[in-house]
Structure 1
Amino acid sequence: MLSSSPTRHPFLAPAGPRVLAHRGLVTPDAAAQGVAENSFAAVAEAHAAGVGYVESDCHLTADGTVVLFHDDDLSRMTGDPRKIADVRLAELEELMADRGGLVTLAQALDSFPDVRWNLDVKAEAAAAPVGRLVAPHAARVLLTSFSDDRRRVALAAARTAGAPIRPATSPGSATVARLVAAHALGLRGTVRRLLRDLDALQIPERQGPVRVVTRGLVRAAHEAGVEVHVWTVNDTGDMTRLLDLGVDGLVTDRADLALSIVNGR
């Protein structure tokens, strides 16, 4: 059980377990109709299913607009090899029009005011703009990135832009690697230090041959008042097993299935 903490971030209240819709929700039927991840339609589907949290990704267009998009180029989504950073917003909107519709970060925050946003900053150039955009919404935003530098830039930009509180945050991959190693070596002081100023530890169950999520690591995070969210969990058996292990959140492409499991517990 997560230790009670007077500093629990509003993003994580009330207590979980919680379901985070990975890039929105694209059901098999929606996919057959051409709906893409991170599209307006995918976010709307997650919202309609009753999901309170959407995990998404942030890039910056050539004309400086933050958009929800995972890859740094268009090749997988549209067959166009250009980088997101080289395409202007209007053209990107046209390319995504029949794939569920492009969403800018500003549109996402305004159109879904009761959704809490777990935002992964994918591009260095997007970090400060993301921070400025989320500043008024900091109570319902968690900022993360594989790069701790990008994450810190975004957090600092939110603060400078007048965020009433710091957005919630989860560490980058380098910090996670140090944390897992320190826990394996029994360096409890180092583990506590690395967890300081974090709200969630968002990690895969395994990284190659290395098991990342263990009961001991979950316990250590909880002792520090930090939640554990595991990505990307799509098998219902795995969902149940991880919840039984004590994790606080499931990042999943099948938020509809995960909700039914969480609500049935």
Structure 2
Amino acid sequence: MTTRHPYFDNQGFPIALAHRGFSLEGLENSMRAFQAAVDLGYRYLETDAHGTQDGVAVALHDETLDRTTDATGEVSNRRWDSVKVARIGGIEPVPALEDVLGTWPDVKVNIDVKGVSAIEPVAKVIEKTKSHDRVCIGSFSADRRRKTLKLLSRPVASPAAQREAIGWLIGSVLGADPEITLGEVDALQIPWRNGRVKFLRRRQVESAHKVGRQIHVWTINDRDEMVELLDLGVDGIVSDRADILKEVLMERGQWA
């Protein structure tokens, strides 16, 4: 199977993505969590992005500070000076995306553009850090993804948005040409299941591979499910349990 972008070069091994870094203490998307994943040997991190009122890209999942920090309010309505003093879990500062990309220049980062506020700030950070070859820019919204990519001077990797992925899943059942249904994207990033209903079968993985697209599955924290998906031939797994995923890949001789 071919890949379209250097981001996917992982020595032929499945890509292990540390979901919001790695923390068993609720410190998601903190520099401590990202460092913990890197210390485990991870070469791929997953994070999210919003933009502040003054145009700083922030590595944070929610549009507000309420759930994960000791502060409140929407990130897009606050200036960076007031966001950076918020503490994740009351301990760790909210990081700027530039710090994530700049601290580990050899690590690749999957960035989910969570809101319109993040479009220009994310593009500016990628341009400033020249991270084009080591980022994957996705979003639940194809429009947000396209607008972000349009602002970049060089191509970056990008996965299908939610509606595009659903279209591909339906098309794969109906026998549609995957090249047409996948179009401009390099990969699919999809959930493994909805309750007991599994989205993936081997024929779907093979269909994507025939047209040079990767399949990454999120968010898998169960050892048996990791093994089942790797047996299906998926190209990447996003996990909160970076420790377990590493153990599984090492046992299989698939740890990069």
1:42-57 aligned at under 5 Å gives the runs 42-57=33-48
Residue ranges of structure 1 left out of the alignment (5+ in a row): none
Instruction: Give the TM-score, by structure 2 length.
Output: 0.91
Give the 3-state SS of the residue equivalent to 2:86 in structure 1. helix
Question: Which structure carries more helix by proportion?
Answer: 1
| Aligned-partner Cα distance in 1 for 2:99–2:72 | 26
Who is 1:237 aligned against? 224
Give the 3-state SS of the residue equivalent to 1:244 in structure 2. helix
1:59 to 46, 50, 63: 50
1:140-151 aligned at under 5 Å gives the runs 140-151=134-145
Shift of 1:177: 1.2
Who is 1:257 aligned against? 244
Who is 1:26 aligned against? 23
Gap change, CA 1:113 and 1:211, over 3 Å in 2: same
Instruction: Give the TM-score, by structure 1 length.
Output: 0.88
Q: Percent identity?
A: 37
2:87 to 92, 96, 99: 96
| Aligned-partner Cα distance in 2 for 1:196–1:128 | 24
1:85-164 aligned at under 5 Å gives the runs 85-96=76-87, 98-135=90-127, 136-158=130-152, 162-163=153-154
- Deviations 1:78-133, CA, capped at 9 Å, x for gaps: 36441111222222222127432221111111111011000000011211221232
Who is 1:73 aligned against? 64
| AA at the equivalent of 1:8 | R
| AA at the equivalent of 1:17 | P
Who is 1:17 aligned against? 14
Who is 1:186 aligned against? 175
1:173 to 147, 162, 168: 162
Give the 3-state SS of the residue equivalent to 2:151 in structure 1. helix
Gap change, CA 1:124 and 1:210, over 3 Å in 2: farther
Aligned positions, number = 248
Gap change, CA 1:140 and 1:108, over 3 Å in 2: same
| Aligned-partner Cα distance in 2 for 1:99–1:214 | 42
| Aligned-partner Cα distance in 1 for 2:106–2:46 | 14
More divergent stretch after superposition (244-253 vs 75-84) = 75-84
| AA at the equivalent of 2:64 | D
